[in-house]
Chains A and B, each alone.
Chain A
């Protein structure tokens, strides 16, 4: 591996980690699409910052962009509060408008400068190692330095406000009652999303910012219920996606950002299918098992229900289960067989009877309700 290759992967990992941290909270709070909005509108902040300072390297651009991210959030809320449009429409109105202004400003006043819109949307990680700056006597890639600083800021923010963030995410009402300002936490989080989006899109483009923020966090949410683990897993998955994506791009000689997004998507797909407990396969298997168990319980309750009633003779016949419970004959056969094996029912001359165990199960299920 050349040092440029290592640097690109390092940048990818740092970007993935920095994005994954706020991403977890976005996913949990149902605000994932705000990352899409913010990652687009920060462009306007950068353009305005550039027009004012005339310098693309100025750190003020970063602040301008982060401020624009927060402005996006508050404009959306303002619009939503008029109750003239719904929340989703408010997002969909604000960010394209701000983004359009940015694109127009670039084409009017900033043409020729290295600020073309394609690069902003798509990013070009391959060039990142060429843009270097001096730090502590070493010439380091700019993106790596910037993203490392942002990663540290995100980490510090989450560590400092961990308790509050957790509470505000899972029980906003209680958090407010305990005196944590939900607005402060909300804007803190949105500020984190904003600076991360600014820093990241230089390297990977704004669309990949969304992928890095949302997909690893969502995949992690399928793997665990614990917030600590979810943060860890999503950083890990994001980093894996970055490295895997880099090598896929390398092998196929393709766009790095697109490749990373694809690999992250594949990782999400793997978690979606195979996550223990929450994955689709595990869910399907569990449903299948529960379906048989549920059907057996249902059978005992059905029998108990009609025990000793005049219609019991009809209701309890094996060949009548189809009519009464709307079960396919094969399914009914399977249920009765399993219930028989478990000693819940016994079959006499085509008529079903509850055993003591079966009666016990039915009664418990009925009394405990759920």
Chain B
């Protein structure tokens, strides 16, 4: 595949925490315009991989490029949805304010978000069905609403590639529907999404590409080619049969 057409290209990515390997020599090619699920058992290094791609962790080796150029030069093309539980939702701020944080990277130093940013944030909230919640204090949100707020913040980044860490974790049915619709819409616009995902059952329904990860890459590609019983067994160590949804309870 031509490197310029690849939205994300990860090569030889190795990450270690205190010299203990978490990811071994992972390669990954993601073409533009796909919705890719990253699945694997707990402790497989899924979140680590997202963070290493985003430069939040320093990898021991390997490199990442976005549309053919090193990640550092392409930051403005990337959006990030961290795990919902990674922040303190009792922080004194409003939904609109959180969404506007998506633009802080582009605003530069000193400048404050203005009316145009406010409008953009409002329309991002509309896209996730949260238009009426703009002035709500974030501690008053349900889990699903928190997740949608984070998604709106990523939309605010107006990126080409989105990295999402467990967007479906602990959300209500309405939110799940809203996220799926949003993902499809992003794909229709030619955007690329990589999402860490836990629920094997919904992979074929929500995503069209998948990567199976367990410290090393087991397989990656279109769901109908790669999401096989054999690969799942390789990733989950035979403990999880396809579609019987047993998760292993290893600590992360």
Contact = CB atoms under 8 A, between A and B. Distances in A.
Interface residues of B, number: 21
B12 A291 contact: no
B170 interface: no
A297 B24 CA distance: 10
B12 A325 contact: yes
A294 B62 contact: no
Contacts of A226: none
Given A298-B14, A324-B12, A305 B19 contact: no
Nearest to B19: A290
Contacts of B20: 370
Given A298-B60, A298-B61, A366-B24, A287 B18 contact: yes
Secondary structure at the A interface, as helix, strand, loop or mixed, is helix
B64 to A, nearest CB: 10
Contacts of B204: none
Contacts of B19: 287, 290-291, 294
Given A298-B14, A302-B12, A324-B11, A365 B61 contact: no
Interface residues of A, number: 18
A326 B215 contact: no
Which of the listed residues B12, B18, B215, B216 has the most CB atoms from chain A within 10 Å of its own CB? B12
B62 A326 contact: yes
Contact of B25 (A287, A291, A305, A369): A305
A213 to B, nearest CB: 29
A264 interface: no
A302 B25 contact: yes
Contacts of A325: 12, 14, 61-62
A209 interface: no
A175 to B, nearest CB: 20
A355 to B, nearest CB: 18
Interface of A: 287, 290-291, 294-295, 297-298, 301-302, 305, 324-327, 365-366, 369-370
28 contacts: A287-B18, A290-B19, A291-B19, A294-B19, A295-B60, A295-B61, A298-B24, A298-B25, A298-B61, A301-B25, A301-B216, A302-B12, A302-B25, A305-B25, A324-B11, A325-B12, A325-B14, A325-B61, A326-B61, A326-B62, A326-B63, A365-B24, A366-B24, A366-B216, A369-B214, A369-B215, A370-B20, A370-B43
